[in-house]
Amino acid sequence: MADTTLPTAVILTTLPVECNAIRAHLTDTETLVHASGTRVERGRLPGTSWYVALAEIGEGTLTAATFTERINSWLVPQALFFVGVAGGLKNDITISPTRCRCPGSARRPCAVPELPQPG
């Protein structure tokens, strides 16, 4: 059973290159295994009190939904991020560099600092 009292952020990725890039920033990593076989690597984020649980979940919306729900219910993180290169997006789609959802309501504005906008 994962310790849910530790301040934890979950980061989900699709590709090995994305997962490896994040893993390079973690220390003291360990593998956690859910009863269903789902695996995450949990490590410390240096200079903070935070743990990061990292999972490479593969492609597909059904896969992403299933793993997101399972990991969220299992680890009960304070934050959950999907990080990736968005390689499937087409050139004619405009996207925001940041997505944010606050607990309780998708319509309530989030109290996050202003992030720099791309070029």
- For each of the domains in the chain, give its residue range(s) and CATH number, in order of start: 1-119 (3.40.50.1580)
Look over the chain and give the mean of its residue pLDDT values, rounded to a whole number: 79
User: Percent of the chain beyond pLDDT 90?
Assistant: 47
Check whether 31 has a pLDDT greater than 70.
yes
Q: What mean pLDDT is predicted for residues 34-39? A: 92
Check whether 115 has a pLDDT greater than 50.
no
pLDDT digits (tens, 9 = 90+) for 73-99: 999 999 999 887 766 666 655 555 555
Q: In the chain, which residue ranges form alpha helices assigned H by DSSP?
A: 16-23, 61-75
Q: What confidence category does residue 28 fall into, taking pLDDT thresholds of 50, 70 and 90?
A: very high
Instruction: Please report the beta strands in the chain, taking only residues with DSSP state E, as ranges in sequence order.
Output: 8-13, 27-33, 39-44, 51-56, 79-82
Strand partners, 40: 32
